[in-house]
Structure 1
Amino acid sequence: MTGKPRIACLSGANATISNSPPLITSNKARTQHGLPLRTNPDGSATRFDVLRPQRLAAPVTVYVEQFSAHPLEADAANLYGPPDGYMDRSGKFHTDRQSDGDTPVFEINLLPNDGLYPLPYMARQADGSAWEDDCAFPGAPAEKSRQAYYPDGSRIFEEIDRFGIAEDGTGNLISQLAEVDFFRIMPSGGYTKGLAAADRTDMGNSDIKPEVMGRDFFAYRPVHLATSPSRSWMARIVNDIQAILDSGNYLGAIWTQGSPRVEETLYWLNLMLDTTLPVCGNAAQRTHGEISNDGPKNLLDSVDYITSKIWQDADGKNRAGTVVIQEQQIFASREVQKGEARPGGYVATGGHGGLLGAVRHGMPPILTYLPGSKHTYQSEVNRTRLNETVTGYINSGKGLSPVKVAIKDANGALLESSIPKVTITKEGNYSPESPDSGPEREVDLVAQINDNLKHAPLAGFVVEGQSPYGSMTNDQRNALMKKAVYCGMPVVRVGRGNNEGFSARAGIFLGGSNLTSTKARLVLMACLMKFGAPPPAADPDHPTDTETAAIQAQLEMYQAVLDTH
């Protein structure tokens, strides 16, 4: 690469980092159109109008009072040059002072191509009323609601460059470091009316057809219309990101997503991507433009991390795996978890590492630790190392029958139908109905096992049990989990919550080490895609020693991945 490096910004779903506060009609517009003014909670007049970044449609000349940028500018007036002129009390500009009451000013010609300017929001609803929220009225349907999310990262990065100020008073914080291309992988905002190719701000050459929320893009606001992506998207995001990184055009990538979701996606990419390049995850606890919003700095820190190349080993390969960078901390994707909805709310799980380094003040980013687990190009379960087909099992009505499950197409891309069904079940004490209650009362597990046997040839369970062992206290539920294994559904056990110990292999149950249940689920899914389902017993309620040995042999391969990834 020559000149500035190029980075791919990848938009993910439900991303607060690409979500803006509602656009509320300003009091300036309300006054102009005779609408009721917004007031403070006590009924008093508000002090200011909120200013929102917008574009000028025509050039305009404005006059700015000298020494108004800081309360103590005038204290050093002797250090300053003269103003451009003076504004008299009638509002007329003069190059020379006309009287002692004139105000010294700077004359500024603002042009549309200067970029965004913060201005009062003047828009109203179609019926002439003021906008008070995202929706035309509380609980409005989608066709009466506006989108708060951006369709890709381009506007966010533009605003960071335009309004973001460094410690030394300079700007253009991202564009001075890198060129950025934008990709709508699994976006939070969409074009419900479609978009012409010429108007696109992301990478793409064709028109965008009308998009549907819940199918093409996924948002959590308005909250009554919230949607989330289905499991099949786990294949699509891997394929799309792999292709982008394989293009040779990028030094690395940034993935943006909802703050409770980014930790799972980045670990999934850590397992699945076959790349030597870095991928950083970013989220925000506060919407873009909200007071003290954390998203812009997180994005800048990821650009800083990628361009610093501290992630490179001696051969130029990524030595840190995929990471999540939040509030200047660099987390390994395996251990990162959102703990609270505030800046600084991310924690390292597992009790043994997870925090790899920091983006420092006035110094380059630093890595103080490196992950010991396999990742990306080292991963034994990355996309390249998966077979095109594996064996799963379905109840055909005449017992459990093997079926071939296609994992990849002829070009090596993951198939959306290949993603296994893995269910997390949490175990607490005092859960049996009575001393003599039977498994039929554990209706959730019974129903899930039966549904898997009908619809999911690759399926399994993660049990979040007692810490650190992952053991269950309910004998009937424990027996059902054993039956699941003998039906071809592997079971991983982990300790509850942010477990700091290590869950070991226990008979036919896999040990999830110090993984959280959500991360163990991802490893189990990857193992099912790599090794296929373990062979079931002819009679899952009465397995033979030979059948148990065959299952154990396959589970050894699963355990090796759980222990090293």
Structure 2
Amino acid sequence: MHLAQLARRGFAAAVLCGAGFAFAADLPNVTILATGGTIAGTGATSTTTVGYTAAKIGVEKLIEAVPELKTIANVKGEQVFQIASENMTNDYWLTLAKRVNTLLRQSDVDGIVITHGTDTIEETAYFLNLVVKSDKPVVIVGAMRPATAISADGPINLFNAVGVAGSKDAKGRGVLVALNDEIQGAREVTKTSTMLANTFRAPELGNLGYVVRGQPMFYRASTRKHTTATEFDISRLDKLPEVDIVYGYANAKRLPVDAFVAAGDAGLVHAGTGNGSLANPVKEALKEARAKGVVIVRSSRTGSGITARNGEANDDELDFVAADNLNPQKARILLMLALTRTHDTGEIQRMFQTY
């Protein structure tokens, strides 16, 4: 019974030694970087699952709430910042990414877990997927219910995320998102429900694997380049180029495009209807913006599928970039990083087909 209990707590290796058992003493070293979010949120009552306050609990309390963590890793925590993730900014991303890269260069850090609000997990994950310069695991985790709620999902999600971050099987797979016993890839994952615990999905392509008793089980990997294989270096950046998203809809007007151009944006992503279609007034505004040097990326608001180059618009003639199957919010991230390297649309199109 004692052995079975230890196994459930994440001790992966027990070897017969003489008359008894000896357990592996070496555990991975995992650093938890906390940024706030629902996983650190509190509600007025135990049944408050909407209308709660995010980003109230500090990292040490999060760790104390899951004593089982010490059975699978040597864990230490650090509060990087404390926000609800709808307030994530480019500056926060740069701060977080630089701290991640610094820690991963240390020999006493085997993996990193980042606690994060679910609203923009997919964006932070993809940004880190493009700028982290290590093959050590980086796992982002959150929760759909605050820590004070009945059946709060934060503790088990955190336990599983630490298990993934400490696993050698997770090395070299890019930045991962771990919630609801599933492992998702940063490039494909997106939030699909406002409330449900299984909100994170990878439309059409599916998750990478599962977590069982804190141990990852992988079934596929992304074929797109990431982390150490990218050309993006944020080590000396203190600011990212301004890029915004213009949403497509019936009766769309050119006003948002003109406003962003006037504000000095270096790039725009158009979240078009269907396969990235452009309403005539918006198309004219985007053409004028491109003539002023603003780089335009066509994406789709549909949530899945490829925005085909020269499909619903003649990208060659317009000198636009097609987003491949990146959703608008991730296309914005790649465009920002691309603009730190070049303004050549041919080169930027190559990046969209690479990452």
State TM-score, norm by structure 1. 0.54
What residue identity is the alignment partner of 1:328? D
The partner residue of 1:465 within 244, 248, 272 is 272
Alignment match, 2:350: 560
Corresponding residue number in structure 2 for 1:421: 242
- Change in Cα spacing, 1:556 to 1:354, as seen in structure 2 (3 Å) is farther
Give, in angstroms, the shift of residue 177 of structure 1: 1.0
- Quote the residue 1:20 is aligned against: 42
Does the Cα contact within 8 Å between 2:88 and 2:120 map onto a contact in 1? no
Q: What is the aligned counterpart of 1:483 among 262, 285, 288?
A: 288
Q: What corresponds to 1:450 in structure 2?
A: 262
Q: 2:65 aligns with which of 135, 139, 159?
A: 159
Q: Give the percent of matched residue pairs that are identical in Structure 1 and Structure 2.
A: 25
Report the secondary structure of 2:57's partner residue. coil
1:298 counterpart letter in structure 2: N
Report the secondary structure of 1:373's partner residue. Answer: coil
Which runs of 5 or more structure 2 residues have no equivalent in the other structure?
Answer: 1-24
Q: Does the 8 Å contact 2:31/2:76 carry over to 1?
A: yes
SS at match of 2:169: coil
Name the counterpart of 2:12. Answer: none
Matched length: 320
Alpha-carbon distance in structure 2 between the residues aligned to 1:443 and 1:425: 10
Give me the whole-angstrom Cα distance separating, in 1, the residues matched to 2:75 and 2:323: 38
Give unpaired runs (5+ residues) of structure 1. Answer: 25-49, 51-132, 135-145, 162-172, 189-217, 221-226, 313-317, 384-411, 433-441, 535-553
Q: What amino acid sits opposite 1:494 in the alignment?
A: S
Amino acid at match of 2:31: A
Aligned to 1:346: 200
Which structure shows the bigger proportion of residues in helix conformation? 2
**Cα distance in 2, alignment partners of residues 335 and 460 from structure 1:** 22
**Aligned pair 1:329/2:195, yes or no?**
no
Runs of 4+ in 1 over 6 A off after TM superposition: none
CA RMSD between the two structures: 2.3
> Is the contact made by 1:334 and 1:354 (CA closer than 8 Å) also made in structure 2?
no
Matches within 5 A, 1:238-257: 238-257=97-116
Deviation at 1:381, TM superposition (A): 2.1
Pair member with larger Rg: 1
Specify whether residues 148 and 364 from structure 1 end up closer, same or farther in structure 2 by C-alpha distance, changes over 3 A only. closer
C-alpha distance in 2, partners of 1:482/1:529? 22
Partner of residue 527 from structure 1, selected from 325, 338, 344: 338
Q: CA offset at residue 326 of structure 1?
A: 1.0
Q: How far apart, in 2, do the equivalents of 1:258 and 1:306 lie?
A: 18
Letter in 2 for 1:564: T
Shift in alpha-carbon separation, 1:429–1:263, aligned structure 2, 3 A: same
Name the stretch that deviates more: 519-528 or 493-502.
493-502
Shift of 1:497: 2.9
Partner Cα separation in structure 1 for residue 200 and residue 258 of structure 2: 36
Question: Which amino acid is 1:487 matched to?
Answer: K
User: Residue 159 of structure 1 aligns to which amino acid in structure 2?
Assistant: A
The C-alpha deviation readout for 1:185-206, integer Å capped at 9, x for no partner, is: 12x2xxxxxxxxxxxxxxxxxx
- How has the CA–CA distance of structure 1 residues 245 and 182 changed in structure 2, closer, same or farther, with 3 Å as cutoff? same
| 8 A Cα contact 1:21 1:148, kept in partner | no
Q: Distance in 2 between matches of 1:331 and 1:230?
A: 23
Q: Is contact 2:232-2:337 (8 Å) kept?
A: yes
Hey, what's the Cα distance between the residues in 2 that align with 1:521 and 1:369?
Answer: 26
Give the residue type in structure 2 aligned to 1:266: A
TM-score by length of 2: 0.84
Residue 527 of structure 1: SS of its match in structure 2?
A: helix
Equivalent position of 1:182 in the other structure:
77
